[in-house]
Amino acid sequence: MSPTIKFLGAVGTVTGSRFIVQGKSSKVMIDCGLYQGLKELRLKNWEKFSEDPQSIDAIVISHAHLDHCGYLPKLVREGYDGPIYCTPYTAKLAAIVLRDSAKLQTEDAKYAKKKGFSKHKDPTGLYNAEEAEKAISLFHPIPFHEPFEVAKDVTVTFHRSGHILGSSFVDLTVEGKRVVFTGDIGRGNHMVLTNPDLIPKGAISALVTESTYGDRTHPKTDDSLADAINRTIKRRGNILIPAFAVDRTEIMLMTLKKLIKTKKIPNLPIYVDSPMALSALNHYRDAINSKSPEIRPELFNLSEDPFDPGTLNEATTVEASKAINDIDQPSIIISASGMATGGRVVHHLEHMLPNPNNSVLLVGYQAAGTRGQYLLSGAKTIKMYGKFVDVNAEIVQIEEFSVHADSEELIKWFRSADSTPNCVYAVHGESSSAESFANLIHNKLNWNAQVPKLDQIYELN
């Protein structure tokens, strides 16, 4: 019998990436992501995992975003204790992400208990700090471009995907059948990272591709960010930017620095209020200072910090975070999480949304069911911490900062393959996006492409 692939998540949705490749002698899991967004998806995180965790020989993680690694401590809770392979910077960043996630899970549970708005008598988090630490202790960093046998007859090579620091696409061979998992692929215009590697030569049995923006192309750069900031300053309001702690914060800081230097916006104070974002920022600085091959060479030997326009305030303590509520001149606050599902940004939203002078700039993907998506769709009130908050602030969507390739960029990248994959599976996109992307692949490349079914097993030919 041929080896198989099973799709356990990210089917018809952008979160919960989980795939299993099984050969005669080994079972390997690729990505172990958390479901986020809609309640019916989040509830899936709480279900018992459909595979016995101890039957899995190894887990491979493409990058440090929560929807690709955030389920690891839950599997550890259920008994997984094998190796977790990833690139060196993914190991560092995923450690930050998992610790923060465990903290949020525990805090939310405690808060719900204290305020009595949980339906459960004694709410607990999905996992705790101890389980996150156990998962982190299983990380096994493997450098880029070096084939490594992760389990018997299963070899994995990481290639750069230019999406966030440490991000990879995973080139896996199981008993002679090759599967390429895109993870998330960058756009080739990242301000910090070098472009995604091309697809290495050779026959491909299956290509498992993200389709986050599979039904869209990104707009060209425009002035909407500077315009929104200047409008808010005129009203003497503050600007809140919910941003994914890893990578988006770095991109926003570099962009704001550029806007200030070119005098498109005034030199206003910028606060980064997310301990996780600040730790991640230090890894980006470290990668630049150590001249990592993941970094664009033009950032080496700069005379100043590329992330600080001179007005950067790093709010490391809770006191510094609370003090931001009292700032008396127009300022920009960057805080996580990016879809406002948790973290300090929720407190800032609670404080800032009722004031029509303020603005909230949404600069990243907002999954269905998240507060970010409700704001985007024009909600007049938003629920947080068990109560409703009025939305009077200006809500602006800024699309140019996506770090996901759009449909045309992905198709262009696919053309770097020197052979036709036997099958392409479109995952990690809302249903409509995944379906239209599969059609586009078929029409443009004449490749066999489909949207896999959840929990279904496919043979690798």
Binding site for Zn ion (CB under 5 A): 65, 184
* Strands, E assignment, 161-257: 168-174, 177-181, 206-210, 239-242
Closer by beta carbon to Zn ion, 51 or else 184: 184
Quote the least distance from Cβ 55 to Zn ion, whole Å: 27
Quote the least distance from Cβ 398 to Zn ion, whole Å: 18
Quote the least distance from Cβ 294 to Zn ion, whole Å: 15
**Could you tell me which residues are beta bridge partners of residue 401?**
none
Query: Rounded to whole angstroms, how far apart are CA atoms 332 and 68?
Result: 29
Quote the least distance from Cβ 421 to Zn ion, whole Å: 22
Quote the least distance from Cβ 68 to Zn ion, whole Å: 6
Closer by beta carbon to Zn ion, 78 or else 430: 430
**Could you tell me which residues are beta bridge partners of residue 5?**
21, 458
Closer by beta carbon to Zn ion, 229 or else 405: 405
Torsion of CA 96, 100, 103, 107, to 10 degrees: 170
For the beta carbon of residue 60, count every other beta carbon within 10 angstroms: 28
How would you classify residue 222: left for phi > 0, otherwise alpha for psi between -120 and 50, otherwise beta?
beta
Nearest by Cα to 139 from 187, 211, 87, 189 = 87
Quote the least distance from Cβ 248 to Zn ion, whole Å: 10
Closer by beta carbon to Zn ion, 77 or else 163: 163
Closer by beta carbon to Zn ion, 184 or else 250: 184
Closer by beta carbon to Zn ion, 69 or else 398: 69
Sign of CA dihedral 83, 85, 69, 279: positive
Query: Rounded to whole angstroms, how far apart are CA atoms 59 and 72?
Result: 9
3-state helix, strand, coil in the chain (%, to 5): 30, 20, 45
* Strands, E assignment, 312-441: 312-314, 332-335, 359-362, 381-384, 387-390, 394-397, 423-427
Closer by beta carbon to Zn ion, 151 or else 277: 277
Do 171 and 157 contact (CB within 8 A), yes or no? yes
Quote the least distance from Cβ 186 to Zn ion, whole Å: 9
Quote the least distance from Cβ 188 to Zn ion, whole Å: 16
| Geometric angle at alpha carbon 291, from 191 and 91, rounded to 5° | 80
Closer by beta carbon to Zn ion, 65 or else 103: 65
* Strands, E assignment, 177-251: 177-181, 206-210, 239-242
Q: Which two tokens stand for residue 457?
A: 């097993």
Quote the least distance from Cβ 164 to Zn ion, whole Å: 6
Closer by beta carbon to Zn ion, 65 or else 283: 65
